[in-house]
Amino acid sequence: MIAKNIKGKSFKGCVSYVMNDTATILEAEGIWADNTKNILRSFAMQRSGRKEIKQPVGHIPISFSPEDKDRMADEFMVQLAKEYMQEMGIKNTQYIIVRHHNADNEHLHIVYNRIDNDLKLISVNQDYKRNIKTCKMLKDKHNLTYGEGKDRVKREKLNNPDAVKYLLHDIIKAILPYCTSEKEFQYYLQSKGINVKFKHKRTTGEIEGISFNYDNVSFKGSQIDRKFSFGNLKKEFEKNLKIQQEQAEKEQQQAEKKLKTLTIGGIELTSEQWEILKNGGYIYLEKMNRNDGKGQFSSYVFLNDDKNKAFFSNENPDAFVKYGKYEMRIQDKILVESGYMTKAKVKWYGGGFAYPYLWKERNSDSEYKESWGNPRLAKEQKVEVKRQNAIPKIKKGGGPKW
């Protein structure tokens, strides 16, 4: 059982929609209901007593799970509708209960006058929360089926604000597994035209709530899904961060284990030699076997920045040599010329050192590129590709474009 509360300006538009070719009026209260014209006239007469009210129309569609179809006799549907209205404080007013027969799931519509029989306005304050509580109560009371969630809702049949609500649900669900902080989460949603606003505590400035806006329609996170309250989102960020950290540690351990178990040129490294290489240093190995099997050689050995490949130099890798615009270590020159990126150590003004990232896009390039920030974004780019591929394409004015 799912219900939503809609308020509007025009009885004509609402009643005309509800009274379609498949409609059956199950019950009417305070309404002359022999035809659509007289239904409208009845609502209009009472509405005229409070002309200053801008939205006198109350409209409640209620849908039931396909699993409950065999139980949905007219009398039972009327009972559920009237119990729902009672719990929502909709009483002492005009209404019609209309059953539709134009969809796979059984559903009905309640149209009621928010101006009651005493010309008092029926409040809709907190109707979202009360609606959730009332639907749950009725499902429990009458043993109705709980749906399998928002995935079963047919997006193509939705109009705003529900179309935006389900669009936000689908996008948040798609990107959430890849986000490790609220800033990252906000960035990716805003890149899709979805505005994210955080609510902060007045005393501490700590974030305590979150809301989303798209196509001029806004929802709090918990209104989209209880899983999307800020508290629950924060738990997901922390979980995702822990998973990423554990995965990075696992990959590093695997890389280290691989290097530890591998020999270099037929020589098995000692634990001391491995520690030196792992910490960015170099060692000297004698009588290593050449890959082509033609003899042996001795050389200085060091690793690339990722610590997953060994390199060789006849000269001390820490010695400096002029290469391009910088005077850098021999090992940095070798890595750049071999097509690897390295955080180089270069001589700087005043006798100090600087540490730019250097690399060549192609080994044949005459000049290397440099960056003072870490451009190693391969893993992040892969995550970004997965994230972007997971996000539904947004189509203005409606649900996702699948």
pLDDT beyond 80 at 304: yes
Of the CA atoms within 13 Å of residue 273, those in its CB half-sphere come to: 17
Q: For the CA atoms of 373, 377, 380, 381, what is the dihedral angle to 10 degrees?
A: 130
- Average pLDDT of the residues in 73-77: 95
Q: How confident is the model at residue 268 (pLDDT cuts 50, 70, 90)?
A: confident
Cα–Cα nearest to 115, from 212, 179, 44: 44
Contacts by residues 83-90 (CB-CB < 8 Å, ≥ 24 positions apart): 83/138, 84/3, 84/60, 84/110, 84/134, 84/135, 84/138, 85/60, 85/110, 85/112, 87/130, 87/134, 87/137, 87/138, 88/5, 88/127, 88/130, 88/131, 88/134, 89/122, 89/123, 89/130, 90/58, 90/122
| Between 350 and 92, the higher pLDDT residue | 92
What was the pLDDT predicted at 401?
A: 38
Q: Are 167 and 215 in contact (CB under 8 A)?
A: no
Work out the average pLDDT over 250-262.
Answer: 71
d(CA 29, CA 37): 16
198: confidence class by pLDDT, cuts 50, 70, 90? very high
- Give the N- to C-terminal CA distance of the chain in Å, as an integer: 27
pLDDT band of residue 32 (cuts 50, 70, 90) is: very high
Q: Torsion over CA of 315, 317, 318 and 319, rounded to 10 degrees? A: 30
Q: Are 172 and 39 in contact (CB under 8 A)?
A: no
| pLDDT value at 271 more than 80 | yes
Q: Is the dihedral of CA 121, 125, 127, 128 positive or negative?
A: positive
**Tens-digit pLDDT profile for residues 361-397:** 888 898 999 988 888 654 455 555 555 555 555 444 4
DSSP-assigned letters across all residues of 374-397: ----HHHHHHHHHHHHHSPEE-TT
Strands annotated E in 105-228: 107-113, 195-200, 207-214, 217-220
Average pLDDT, the chain: 87
**How far, rounded to the nearest angstrom, does the alpha carbon of residue 240 sit from its chain's CA centroid?**
12
Q: What is the pLDDT of residue 147?
A: 59
Report the C-alpha gap between 235 and 221 in whole angstroms: 14
pTM score over 0.85: no
Q: Which two tokens stand for residue 197?
A: 């606003």
Q: What is the predicted pLDDT for the residue at 402?
A: 31
Mean pLDDT of 9-23: 91
Closest CA to 336 of 351, 347, 346: 346
Q: Which DSSP symbol is given to 38?
A: H
Q: How confident is the model at residue 102 (pLDDT cuts 50, 70, 90)?
A: confident
Q: How many CB atoms within 10 Å of residue 249?
A: 10
Task: Return the structure tokens found at 263.
Answer: 């020999």
**Among residues 218, 214, 178, which one has the least CA distance to residue 381?**
178
| Mean pLDDT, rounded, for 6-12 | 91
Q: What residue type is 142 in one-letter code?
A: H
Question: Are 108 and 100 contacting, i.e. CB atoms less than 8 angstroms apart?
Answer: yes
pLDDT of residue 258: 65
Residues 6+ positions from 293 with CB-CB distance below 8 Å: none
Mean per-residue pLDDT for 51-70? 90
The string of pLDDT tens digits covering residues 105-161 is: 789 999 999 999 999 999 888 888 889 899 989 998 998 876 555 666 666 667 778
